[in-house]
Amino acid sequence: MTAMTAAVLTFAPALLGSLVALACDAFDRRRWGVLAAGLGLAVSGAAGLTAAFTVGIAQVGGVISVGGPFSAVCGLIGLFASITVFGGYDASIVRRGGGASVALVGLGAAASALVACTSDLTLLLVGIESAAVCAYALVSLGSTRRADEAAMKYFVQSAVATAFFVFGLAILVGVFVPDGRYAALASALDGAGMQLTALAGALLIIAALAFKIGAAPFHSWTPDAYETAPPDSAAFLASGPKLGALAALAVFSAVVTSGSLAPRLVPVLAVLSILSVLVGSLAALRQSSYTRMLAYAGVAQVGYALIAITVMSPLVVLFFASTYALATTGTFLAATEFRRAKPDWDGSIAGLAGVGRRRPGVSIALGVLLVSLAGIPPLLGFWGKLQVFAAVIVASARDLVAGSAGSGWLLAFVAIVGLLGSVISVGYYGSVLRSLFLDVAPAVADDEGLEETALAARPVVVGELPSGTAGAAVIVVAVAVVVLGLLPLAFGASTLMAPFIGK
């Protein structure tokens, strides 16, 4: 497979499936449109992962990187988007604009993949804004006043972040690299003169990308957006665009911190990681809403990825972000199944009391995903966090031995905060498990005032509320998390990193 072929197969099926979905929606063939979009995304994902193993890292047109980690991330974005489309199949059929909604996922996935693999600042801006436009529309699909407000809040704040990016782009392209390509950026920023100008441009772009990934203190849009968007839309927003933006931030940070700007930029990245872990973890503990808790937990997870970015370990960033994106896709899709099992569910964690008895398969699968996100072995999430903490501890020890005490102790503090955040995560993830399996749903009274047996206390009637596609998707994701988590025990830890290393 050539580099050009890999690029075409990674993007074309997703785009084609989205166009077919729009056409089918126009002719009221929504089911076929959803299937076409999901299949196109699955083909794109499979092509990307295949290219990760078979194609060496190469440039297409001088601006798009394929092969190795670039194709791996693009492939994973396609697969995660495909899971959300098929998982939200039932909801997309009955939702107004169902074909358009899956087309938005497909177009957003293609834009996010472009963000992950571009090596040009101008094209990066195009990809980010294309993905953002799809994200605004996906949030507004909640079709409530709160969803519209969340989408507008997201749009306004994103416009400010875009302005930051444009200002940074103007500085870097206008002063240092006229063509905007990363290849010349590192050497151009490493010059002796105009360091403050270069620093300003780099910081503006980092701030814009930090907003896109939902890092603290640029995270205020995430709780409302994830809580009010349809669960399948939120599942995509929390995985595909975030994975693409994290990949872009990892590559850009590696480029700009490879020279003399590193001593000034590394502390900034460290502060972002500390704030994200602390703000996300502490805020998640206080949430009563299930999806809002997941949103703040995502802020903390971004903090762990920023730890790896701080120590300039882009492959570790991509690996950890991929493990998080896979698990979080299932956690949001679970909300759709819980709503199906308990139509009067108010979206709260306490409102899940007893659902574990009515949906044991989905509830156990969700438990696996939450335990993985907490970083408990031997599930997939543990290996992601292990790589992050190993990278920062090694970097801290290296700096201390080399005599860079300030940098060494800063990284040590970052590692301690990260470990503390992981401990706290057991609390907010555990609250969901406690509600599902241990708490008992309160008894309710019928119209005649008679006390009815709580839903959780009734015997489970097989087939009473048949599981939908969302429940099946959650179970599939949980199985993948378990199987991939056990692979290192059988074949070594490097097995999981293979797609990110490539040919």
Q: What is the pLDDT of residues 215-237, one digit of tens each?
A: 999 999 999 999 999 999 999 99
Quick check: 492 pLDDT over 50? yes
Quickly state the pLDDT bin for 2 (edges 50, 70, 90). confident
In this prediction, residue 503 carries a pLDDT of: 60
Provide φ and ψ at 256, rounded to 5°.
-80, -20
461 with 338, same domain: the answer is yes
Quick check: 500 pLDDT over 70? yes
44 with 146, same domain: the answer is no
Q: Last residue of some domain: 117, 138, 153?
A: 117
Mean pLDDT of 19-30: 86
Distance of CA 224 to the CA centre of its chain: 16
In this prediction, residue 442 carries a pLDDT of: 62
Domains in the chain, number: 2
107 with 126, same domain: the answer is no
In this prediction, residue 177 carries a pLDDT of: 86
Q: Which of residues 177 and 330 earns the better pLDDT score?
A: 330
Quick check: 369 pLDDT over 70? yes
Q: Last residue of some domain: 117, 137, 154?
A: 117
431, 366 contact by CB (below 8 A): no
Radius of gyration of the chain (CA): 22
Quickly state the pLDDT bin for 501 (edges 50, 70, 90). confident
Provide φ and ψ at 289, rounded to 5°.
-85, 135
Quick check: 443 pLDDT over 60? no
Mean pLDDT of 375-398: 94
Tens-digit pLDDT profile for residues 263-286:
889 999 999 999 999 999 999 999
Mean pLDDT of 376-400: 94
Domain that holds residue 23: 1-117
66, 3 contact by CB (below 8 A): yes
97, 103 contact by CB (below 8 A): no
235 with 291, same domain: the answer is yes
Quickly state the pLDDT bin for 95 (edges 50, 70, 90). low
* CA within 13 Å, CB half, 273: 32
78 with 174, same domain: the answer is no
In this prediction, residue 447 carries a pLDDT of: 39
111 with 139, same domain: the answer is no
In this prediction, residue 195 carries a pLDDT of: 82
142 with 113, same domain: the answer is no
Q: Last residue of some domain: 100, 117, 134?
A: 117
280, 301 contact by CB (below 8 A): yes
Distances (CA, A) of 57 to 39, 61, 280, 500, 502: 26, 13, 35, 11, 8
In this prediction, residue 98 carries a pLDDT of: 67
